[in-house]
Amino acid sequence: MDIRKLINKNKDYIVEMRRYFHKNPELSFEEHETTKKIANELEKMGISYEIPNEEPKTGVIGLIEGGKPGKTVALRADIDALNVCEKNEIDYKSQNEGKMHACGHDTHISMLLGAAKILSEIKDEICGRVYLIFQPAEELGLGAKYMIRQGTWFDEIDSIYGSHIWVGLDAGKISVEAGDRMAAADKFKIKIKGKSGHGSLPNETVDAVLVGSAVVQNLQQLVSRNYSPLDSVTVTIGSFHSGNRFNIIAGEAEMEGTNRYFSKEIGKNIENDMNRVIKGICDAYGADYELKYDYILGPTINDEISSRIAERALKKVVGEEANQKMQKTTGGEDFCFYLQDKPGCFGFIGCRNPEIGADYPHHNERFNVDENVLANGAGMYAQYAIEFLNENN
């Protein structure tokens, strides 16, 4: 089977699909028209599919039955957009005001549809089965768990591959290395409870602004003095709200933030460590507090064997020179939930090309990609499935 010929044959289709989805973005768990379009494309290819029965009934699970017996592999693409107002002046600019595929999920859909076309054309040669997982709500960190609950596909699979278009890599480069790839992402909210009063009489108050400021300062030292400098940990306070008038000392303050890390040991301890720091500060100032801590995403860790399979696929699809080692990133990804129970690999498809303006960061209103890389991204999906099924036949 000559995958490269099939990749070239479907290049225009993949770009066409990318532009359609870019023009018609839908937010997390609102991807109803996106779901219909994906289902329609699979139907035209003769690929069976199911749409989740669980509300909101977005996302699609396709299935390609190979002509020969074998194992089962899944290929996953996320499909949701963001609350971003697009500023690109392009023919396929978002038509849904205030919504944009500013992270590249439109390319993920099109690459997986391209892989579906490739695999459907050679299905008689495939040793096993390939599930096509078009997942909603990655941006909420909820979509993977939602899809795992749908039917029996997740129990049936032996491996899973996913990828993300990546502006941090040059167009033409692909990273599929093993080990830590993306960080755990936790969310927290801190409420400080002091005692309000007149600005001229601070001795009669417990200043929530002062207490909150001390909390912010000391949580930064939590990283530098409690964890190894060889571990990657970030504690970020993204919002701080307190007070409503210049001459009133605030009695309450509220902060929200996120922690990122790779070590599971840190994940076990960081909430307790935060409680210890916040309690010590509040006790010193005579304030009370509440900490609400949510573990949203775990770290995304590529399996060694799966990464080797992906590297073989990369060499066949693009060539050895495209294989790019890349530092792990403290961004989060709900693909982690698949990898907690199944071996797999999460790859990064480089799309940066400053000459065409494809160098803005993810989630930026001018984010765009070099579309020339999409066909090879589709080839990576298809070739990973073939490599895995052939190796385990």
CATH of residue 202: 3.30.70.360
Distance separating alpha carbons of residues 91 and 124, to the nearest angstrom: 39
Q: Are residues 213 and 156 in the same domain?
A: no
Interacting residues of 127 by C-beta distance below 8 A, sequence separation 6+: 66, 68, 69, 70, 71, 389, 390, 393
Mean pLDDT throughout 257-269?
95
Asked whether residue 161 falls in the same domain as residue 261, the answer is: no
1 pLDDT above the threshold of 90:
no
| Cβ contacts of 100 within 8 Å, gap of 6 or more | 25, 81, 82, 84, 85, 86, 94, 365, 367
pLDDT grade for 184, boundaries at 50, 70 and 90: very high
Do residues 156 and 21 both lie within one domain?
Answer: yes
Among 264, 297, 330, give the residue marking a domain's end: 297
Question: Does residue 339 share a domain with residue 246?
Answer: no
Measured CA angle at 129 (ends 128, 135), to 5 deg: 155
Closest CA to 47 of 157, 147, 121: 121
Q: Please name which of 162, 149, 160 lies closest in space to residue 50, comparing C-alpha atoms.
A: 149
Q: Are residues 54 and 174 in the same domain?
A: yes
pLDDT in tens, 34-54: 999 999 999 999 999 999 999
Which amino acids are annotated catalytic?
Answer: 80, 138
CA quadruple 104, 107, 109, 111: dihedral positive or negative?
A: negative
Is the confidence at residue 307, as pLDDT, over 90? Answer: yes
Tokens of 321: 């020179």
Q: Are residues 159 and 52 in the same domain?
A: yes
CATH number, domain with residue 119: 3.40.630.10
- Domain of 314 in residue numbering reads as 3-181+298-391
Instruction: Provide the domain count of the chain.
Output: 2
Alpha helix segments (H runs only) across 171-207: none
Boundary (domain end) residue, out of 269, 297, 325: 297
Last residue of a domain, one of 276, 297, 318: 297
Tell me, yes or no, whether 22 and 137 share the same domain.
yes
